[in-house]
Every structure is written in C-alpha cells, then in structure tokens.
Amino acid sequence: MTRKERTLVPDDQLLTVPEVMALLKLGRSTVYDLIRSHRLVSIKVGRCRRIPATSLRAFIADQIAEAA
C-alpha cells in the first residue's frame, strides 16, 4: 500500500463540519470557533460550509508543531 492509499481523506476532498467534528473528535461550536478564528480555513458552497482536506491537514500539522 502506498502512502497516498493510506490517507484518511484525499487532498482534494471538501469535508462537512460534521465530518471534521468526527475526525477531530470536537464539538460543532469548537469547529466553528476554529473557522471564525481563521485557524481552520473553510469555504462556502452555496449556503453550506466546507473545509478542504488540505486545510484540515495543515491545522493538524500546526497543532503538532505547537505541541513540540
């Protein structure tokens, strides 16, 4: 299995807020707080909020770097 096949979410995928909640094991208001504070980048598609998988990966990498 290649590294690309082992990723949980493809790079070009747009995630819903509930999907991000499940992946990060956070509540809805916490995810929206991260979006409001620009720590997690999101886009609007119509009336729906979507988080690019690359944004989620960058957020996780930032959290790991802060903890180190």
Nearest to 48 by CA among 35, 30, 62: 35
Strand order in the sheet with 48-52: 14-15, 48-52, 43-45
* Contacts (Cβ under 8 Å, ≥6 apart) of 42: 35, 49, 50, 51, 52, 55
Q: What local confidence, expressed as pLDDT, does residue 66 receive? A: 93
Q: What local confidence, expressed as pLDDT, does residue 44 receive? A: 96
pTM: 0.81
pLDDT, tens digit, 9 for 90 and up, residues 6-59: 566 677 899 999 999 999 999 999 999 999 999 999 999 999 999 999 999 999
Domains defined for the chain, CATH in brackets: 11-67 (1.10.1660)
- What is the pLDDT confidence band of residue 3, given thresholds at 50, 70 and 90? low
Q: Is the dihedral of CA 53, 63, 25, 28 positive or negative?
A: negative
